[in-house]
Chains A and B, each alone.
Chain A
Amino acid sequence: MQHSEMNYVKKALPSNLRSIGLLLLIAGIILGLVAYFIDQPRAMFNYLISYMFLISIGVGSLFLISLEYVANADWSVPLRRVIEHLAAIIPLLFILVLPLFFSIHDLFHWSHPEAVSEDKILQGKAPYLNATFFIIRSIAAIVIWSLFYFFISRNSLKQDETKDQKLTKTNIKLSAAFIPFFAVTITVSAIDWMMSLEPHWFSTIFGVYFFAGTVVASLAAVTLFVVKLKEKEYLHPKVTNDHLFSLGALMFAFVNFWAYIAFSQYLLIWYADLPEETFWFLHRWEGSWTVFSIALIVMHFIVPYAVLLAQPAKMDMKKLKFISIWLLAAHLLDLFWLVMPNMSVHAHGYVFSWIDLVFPVFIVGFVILVFYYRANKTNLLPSGDPKLNRALDFHI
């Protein structure tokens, strides 16, 4: 029992995974560029959605890791590498954010001085909503995430070799420090990148709303990878359905949390019925946006709630695979619903374009590639973690 991690032999991921990832990524980039030259604002709004989606998965994963450390959880230890590999998206955000900086004028109404000069409200918000400060905040957030990602994952990897228990202690401290930073940066990111698309609107719960979606999306991504890896037997054989159960249960919990927060936001605005707040929802109830709004409730809450309610469903690999893909799509829809109606062509309902279908291709390719390269470079099991044996013996 002492050395159960010895049963684990590292297997390289199949190289066709790389080909698939590369293919999707290149296809996504080329189509995205074509889209950019055909319809620049639309391409950039879509790219913004992709960027937020990647923040959700990357930063959300880092949050899950720090949650494991501060809660001193056992069960997730053998899965932590999977989560770390997904968090590897974070440093790449430095590059991903650049195109957005160059299209601030396409995206944000408040970035036009002539609009601000005619608008008292925007003048009042100008000290916060101006391009310089905006860019500083965005970069600062990525710097903070990257630093924490760098140190936490470096310690975790180092432990594979040194088996130094102190590294776990260090990571617990880092995680505890990260969580408040995470709370602030994720709120600011949500407000900056999405709420300020409609600069007259405000909702104090908006940051929490995005946070809820972030956790759902990162849990779904982790579950999807874990189930896939387990199916193909890349994980330690002692990673059982009981480990999956915890993922399923967390997903279920956060689906509920998301619904709770989404409804709280809606209820207060509906109740107070102030025109300066309601117009945001009314817009999303205009024309074909109604379909999106209803689809969001069904996809992001009702279906996953029903599927994950029973205990056996939370450990069933097939159901988990289905629901994690489903929830990733739901989160994409959520971001689409938050961002897209702010584009002027959609003023009275959604107007379809093939461009909207291109960017998810890019996201999938990107995530697969990041994961592939990280996973092949390192162990898929944190073999030096002092809690590993206990974690592998985990049963519910």
Chain B
Amino acid sequence: MRNRLFAVAALFESPDKIIKAADAVASQGFRKFDVNTPYPVHGMDKAMKLKPSKLGFVTLFFGLTGTAIGLILTYWTMSVDYPLVIGGKPFFALPAFIPILFELTVLLATLATVFGMFAFFFNLPHNDHPIHDTEYMKMTSYDKYGIYIESADEHFDESKIKRLFTDLGAVKIYDLAYPEKITYPIFEPKFVTFLIITFVAVSGATYLTLNKLLYITPFNWMMDQLREDVQDVSQYLPDQPSMRTPVQGTVARGFIPYPYKGINNPTEVLTNPILPTQENLNLGRKKYLSYCSPCHGNFGNGDSRLRGQFPNPPTLHSKRAREFSDGMIYHIITNGQNVMPSYESQVTREERWAIVNYIRVLQRAKNAQESDLEVAKKEFEKNAAQ
């Protein structure tokens, strides 16, 4: 018994002919027809009188959604929920977020286009079609150009259509019937089993590669070398870590130990070994601006932008700070004080003393006296005279 007719199809020899055929079919008022060609034929949309695809709107909508998600994500995480000062940038640092907005826009737009195509235009889960597995389909993916008109079209008339196709120069005409029953190949046990097997095989292979294969000779040669790995058990000394504790009293090269480390208020401190030369003050200024000014402000007033975000860094012009000995300030930099961390690892010994000298300059400038003005005036006159 013949199944219900789905469509009448015809094959043509050349792209010119298929364009003409598509144009003729569309002009006769048929709407439910489609063209199958081995490659995209230029000018087909126009010949078939297709309206522009609506898919672009899906892309646009999801693209903008991506932008919005990116904006909310970056704003919420970086500016509201867990604000961090990074490189002195504001919490809401839009330029830094733009790459993220851009990537999310592109990601959502492309994914939505692909899935939108599947879902709306292919009618998922309906992934079978009556023209699949027909000779007609095989020929159109080989070297013929095919067109078919569905029986559901309101102008459908089998004999008239066949005549039309013949007149247009069709080389072959097919009746395409509905399959016996509608199936959903993606739900077929074979296909599902295939998916599961692929999944298990890929994840299994990955697991085995990373956890077993890499430990088998010769793949482990790269990993097993004659050296100690840090934070591992020593290969040579039983029951000992690979990293050895230095012998008591060891001093690293170029490193002078600091005797008051860890003491919060040492009764005595080191004395300043470095003279406040111009060169030295320049160094101190540079290091102060890099390491101290983010908290204590450019002139030591404690007015940095960190105010209100961190326990307020104090001014360095208080009576207390002015009465600190040089060694005490050196001590605070080296050791830290309460919430102020130690800067021992960032600033070298010489630089620390240079900073101390520079802070002295700042303090002096802020608390200038009449006599200082005299000195400054003399300096100025001397310079002017030159």
Contacts and interface: CB of A to CB of B under 8 A. Distances in A.
Interface string A325-348: 000000000000000000000000
Contacts of B88: 273
Interface stretch (A119-127, A141-149, A263-271): A263-271
A352 B294 CA distance: 39
A247 to B, nearest CB: 17
B95 interface: yes
Contacts, number: 28
Interface in A241-286: 242, 263, 266-267, 270-271, 273
Given A271-B87, A310-B56, A395 B95 contact: no
B98 to A, nearest CB: 7
Mostly helix, strand, loop or mixed at chain B's interface? helix
| A-B complex: 8 closest residue pairs judged by Cβ atoms | A395-B43, A395-B42, A270-B95, A267-B95, A311-B52, A273-B87, A395-B46, A396-B42
A394 interface: yes
B52 A271 contact: no
B252 interface: no
Given A309-B60, A393-B42, 18 more contacts: A242-B43, A263-B95, A266-B95, A267-B96, A267-B98, A267-B99, A270-B95, A271-B87, A271-B95, A271-B96, A273-B89, A311-B52, A311-B56, A394-B42, A395-B42, A395-B46, A396-B42, A396-B43
B21 to A, nearest CB: 16
Contacts of A242: 43
Contacts of B96: 267, 271
A113 interface: no
A192 to B, nearest CB: 29
A312 interface: yes
Contacts of A273: 87-89
A312 B46 contact: no
A267 B88 CA distance: 15
A311 B60 CA distance: 12
7 contacts: A266-B95, A267-B95, A270-B95, A273-B88, A273-B89, A394-B42, A395-B46
Most chain A CB within a 10 A radius of its CB, from B42, B43, B56, B96: B42
Nearest to A75: B42
Interface residues of B, number: 14
B98 A263 contact: yes
A312 B98 contact: no
Nearest to B53: A311
A393 B43 CA distance: 9
Nearest to A310: B56
A242 B96 CA distance: 39
Interface string B275-302: 0000000000000000000000000000
A273 B294 CA distance: 15
Contacts of B98: 263, 267
Nearest to B88: A273
Nearest to A311: B52
Interface string A217-259: 0000000000000000000000000100000000000000000
Interface residues of A, number: 15
Contacts of B99: 267
Nearest to B41: A395
Contacts of B43: 242, 395-396
Interface string B88-103: 1100000110110000
Interface in A374-396: 393-396
Interface in A290-319: 309-312
Contacts of A310: 56
A263 B102 CA distance: 12
Contacts of B46: 395
A54 B60 CA distance: 37
Interface in B60-119: 60, 87-89, 95-96, 98-99
Nearest to A268: B95
Contacts of B89: 273
Residue from A242, A271, A311, A312 whose CB has the most chain B CB atoms within 10 Å: A271
Contacts of A267: 95-96, 98-99
A156 B99 CA distance: 44
Contacts of A312: 52
Contacts of B60: 309
A263 B98 CA distance: 9
A310 B59 CA distance: 12
Nearest to B60: A309
A166 to B, nearest CB: 27
A329 B89 CA distance: 34
Contacts of A396: 42-43, 45
A226 to B, nearest CB: 20
A267 B96 CA distance: 7
Contacts of A311: 52, 56
Interface string A132-143: 000000000000
Contacts of A309: 60
A394 B45 CA distance: 13
A284 to B, nearest CB: 15
Interface in A190-220: none
A270 B95 CA distance: 8
A311 B55 CA distance: 12
A267 B87 CA distance: 13
A250 B49 CA distance: 25
Contacts of A394: 42
A312 B99 CA distance: 29
A309 B105 CA distance: 15
Interface string B248-291: 00000000000000000000000000000000000000000000
Interface string A37-54: 000000000000000000
Interface string B236-247: 000000000000
Contacts of B52: 311-312
A310 B42 CA distance: 20
Nearest to B96: A271
A263 B99 CA distance: 10
B338 to A, nearest CB: 30
Nearest to B43: A395
Contacts of A263: 95, 98
B269 to A, nearest CB: 35
Interface string A47-87: 00000000000000000000000000000000000000000
